[in-house]
Amino acid sequence: MGKLIIVRHGQTQMNVDSLFFGKLDPELTELGKKQAEGARQKLKKFKYDNIYSSDLKRASQTAQIVNYMNKEIVYDKRLQEIDFGIFEGLTYSEIEEKYPEECKKSQLDWENYDFETGESPKEMQERAVSFIKSLDLEKDNLIVTHWGVIGCILSWYLSSRLQSYWKYSIDNGGIAVIEFCDDFPVLTGLNI
């Protein structure tokens, strides 16, 4: 029985500022580094065969900190956060003011809305799931990634497609665990 041990990156200043950011590439704050250290301590109760990470700085920094087994980290762009396109770097109120029509479209058809120059949650889920399907799920795989990707993975395995995407809260430095028994996924930890 293999596991997906999924860690959300530590805090960045853009998290603090409540900005929409996916492809923007901030580093961890001091608190973000402490959150990653906390995740490292919690992860010591898990063994992992492989470690994978988004190549964006906030995730790669977190991966380097949590990698207590000192395995080679494999970076994969499919683990990057959603591309918010024209919304990148803006607060929600700035988006409402600057892009009122696009904001309304994003609310009405959130699964398929591509943020004009970005990608849709549906497209993000397709790439995230294609990454997971490339893994040997008989092994224990540690993955360091972003809130959106984690929501996509949990929703894919625990509901239908994006049905439960908004129903998971995963903190910066939080850990989620899915165990596979005969290809049957079971959520055994959330925000560990």
d(CA 162, CA 105): 18
Distance of alpha carbon 73 from the chain centroid? 16
Cβ–Cβ under 8 Å, residues 62 and 175:
no
- Catalytic entry in 81, 97, 116, 119: 81
Based on the residue annotation, tell me whether 9 is a catalytic residue of this protein: yes
Based on the residue annotation, tell me whether 81 is a catalytic residue of this protein: yes
Candidates 20, 44, 58, 41; CA nearest to 146 is: 58
- Sign, CA dihedral 135-27-10-162, equals negative
Classify residue 22 by burial, with Cβ atoms within 10 Å: 0-12, 13-18, 19+: buried
- Catalytic entry in 9, 37, 119, 126: 9
Q: Which residues are catalytic?
A: 9, 81
